[in-house]
Chains A and B, each alone.
Chain A
Amino acid sequence: MGVKVAHNWRLRGQRYRLEGEVCDHCGSTIFPPRDICPECHQPAKTEHTLSGRGEVYTYSTVQNAPEGFEQYVPYTVALVKLEEGPMITAQLTDVAPDDVEIGMPVEMVTRRLRVQGDEGTISYGYKFRPVLQRA
C-alpha cells in the first residue's frame, strides 16, 4: 500500500502550504479543500492559505504502527484546532510525548512524513511543533 508519485504531487499545495478554501457565502475557512462549504453547503472554491497556527485538541502516541511507519515508533498524532477554525490530523514533532498537553499552542512545519525504502518515494508534508518563543 505504498504511496504513489502522482498522489504526492497532487497534494503538494495542501501538504507543503496548507492550501484550503474560503467560503464566499458564509466566510468559513475550509481545510482540506472540498469545494462545497461544510457549514452552509454552498459552492466554495476560493483558494485560501491557512496560517498554520493552532492548538492541540487531543493527541495519541502510537506504539504499534501500521506498515510503513514502524521505524518512527513512538510518534504522537494530534488533532490540531487551527486558528481559522478547521481541525487537522497531524503528527507532532520537536516535543517529547510526555510533554504534550491539550490546549498547547502549535505551529506548522514541513517535515519528512515517510520513506518507502531505497527505491520508493520520500513523502514530505506538514507536522506541528510547539510554538517557538521569539526574541
Chain B
Amino acid sequence: MRDVAIIGIGQTPVDEHWTTSLRHLALDAGLKALKDANLERVEAVYVGNMLSGTTTGQEHLGGLVVDFLGMAGTEAMKIEAACASGAAAVRVGMMAVASGMSDLVLAMGVEKMTDTVGQQTTAALAMAADAEYEVSQGVTFVTLNGLLMQRYMYEYGWERKDFANFVINAHANGKHNPNAMFQKEISQAAYERSPMISSPVGLFDASPICDGAAAVVLAPMEYAHTLSPAPVRIKASAVATSPLAVHSRKDPLALEAARISAQRAYEQAEIEPDDLDFFELHDAFTIMAALSLEATGFAERGQAVRMALDGEITLDGRIPVSTMGGLKSRGHPVGATGVYQIVESVLQLRGLAGETQLPNARLGMAQNIGGSGATIITHILEAMG
C-alpha cells in the first residue's frame, strides 16, 4: 500500500443556494479543487451524497458530475453512507490511490437540501435510521438525538444550558469562516431561549439544513511534493460500524463506532489523542459533540460537557474543535460535510485558516458520523509542507 496525500482542495460556501443546482454545486467545488492541484483531469471521481434521489430526483451522480466536469469517460461513482457519505468518498478515493489502481483521484461530497420543504427534508434525513422500527414511530434525526441527550442528562446530572459552549465555540470560530453559513456569534442567553424541536434538543443544539459541496484531490505521497507546495498526508483512515437503530445498541451513549474507528486511526497513525493539534468533530447536535469527545478518548464518560464548560475545546484550549465553525455554524449539507471537515483540516495544516488559524498545527483529526452513529469514519491528517 502507498501513502496518500491531499494535493488540492475546493469548497462552495455553505448556504441556501436557491439559484444553484446540485450539479453546479458539485462542479464549483470540483473545479476549485482541480485548480488548487494544478490539474485538468484525474483518473477517477468519487461523489459522496446521501439524499439526491429524494430531495432532487437525481441519482447516478457519478455519471452526472463527471460529465459536467468535462471528464466523461473517466471512472466515477456515487458513494453513500448517510451523513458520513463525504468521508466515505474520501476513503474510497484513498483506497484507489493507496492500492495503486489510480494515481490521481477527485473525491467530493455534495448535498442539495433546500429543494424540498422542511418536513420533506426531515423525513428524507430520517432514512438514515431504521425505517421499519424507528422511523415508523414518527422519529426524526432530532428525536434520536433528543433520546440520547435526555438519557445523558439523567445519567450524568447535566442541564441543557450546560451544553451551550459547544454552540458558542462553533459560532465564535465560524464567524471568521467566509464559507460558513452562519458567520455570527451566539450567546448563552440566545442558546437557552431557542425553541424545542424534539426535547431536550432545541433549535440551537442542531446544525442547519443547507446546500454545499467540497472536494479534495488525492495523489500518491511519493510524488505529491512535485504537484503541490504543501501536500497533506492522510496518516490514518478508518471506518467502524454500530447497530443501525439506537435501540439495538447495548450502550446507546457509548458511540461505539466512534471509539473503534478512532482507535483504529490512532493505531495506524501511531499517535495518542493528546498528540493531535485539533479535532474537526461531527457536531450535528450538541450531544453528538459530547459523545464524540468521550468516544475518541478526550473525556471520561459523562465529562465532555465539563470540558466545554472549562474552555478546553476553544482555539487556545486543550483540543480545539470546530475550528472553522463545525457543522453548527459552517453548516451540515449532510453528504458533503465529511469533505468540508477534511478541507478545513487541510487549511489549518497549510496555515491558511485565517483568523482561526492554530499556531503550528501539524496533526489534525476529522470524524464524520453517519446516521445516529451506525457508520463513523475517522481521518488523521499531517502537514508535510
Contact = CB atoms under 8 A, between A and B. Distances in A.
Whether chains A and B associate is: yes
Nearest to B249: A87
A63 B139 CA distance: 11
A1 B140 CA distance: 14
Nearest to B150: A58
A59 interface: yes
Interface in B319-360: none
Contacts, number: 113
Given A66-B123, A67-B123, A77-B143, A58 B154 contact: yes
Contacts of B138: 62, 65-66, 69, 72, 75, 77, 91, 113-114
Contact of B246 (A1, A79, A125): A79
A70 B119 contact: yes
Interface in A101-127: 102, 113-114, 123, 125
Interface in B116-160: 118-120, 122-124, 126-127, 130, 132-140, 142-143, 146-151, 154
Given A62-B143, A64-B140, A77-B139, A89 B195 contact: no
A36 B329 CA distance: 42
B63 interface: no
Interface residues of B, number: 41
Contacts of B195: 63
Nearest to B141: A66
B137 A67 contact: no
Contact of A60 (B123, B134, B201, B245): B201
Interface in A4-49: 7, 11, 14, 32, 38
B252 interface: yes
A3 interface: yes
A125 B137 CA distance: 9
Interface residues of A, number: 38
Contacts of A72: 138
Interface in B201-248: 201, 243, 245-248
A1 B123 CA distance: 8
B208 to A, nearest CB: 13
A60 B198 contact: yes
20 contacts: A1-B54, A7-B132, A38-B248, A58-B148, A58-B150, A60-B143, A60-B147, A60-B201, A61-B146, A61-B196, A62-B143, A62-B146, A63-B196, A64-B122, A67-B123, A77-B198, A87-B247, A87-B248, A87-B252, A97-B199
Given A67-B122, A89-B247, A60 B199 contact: yes
A32 B130 CA distance: 11
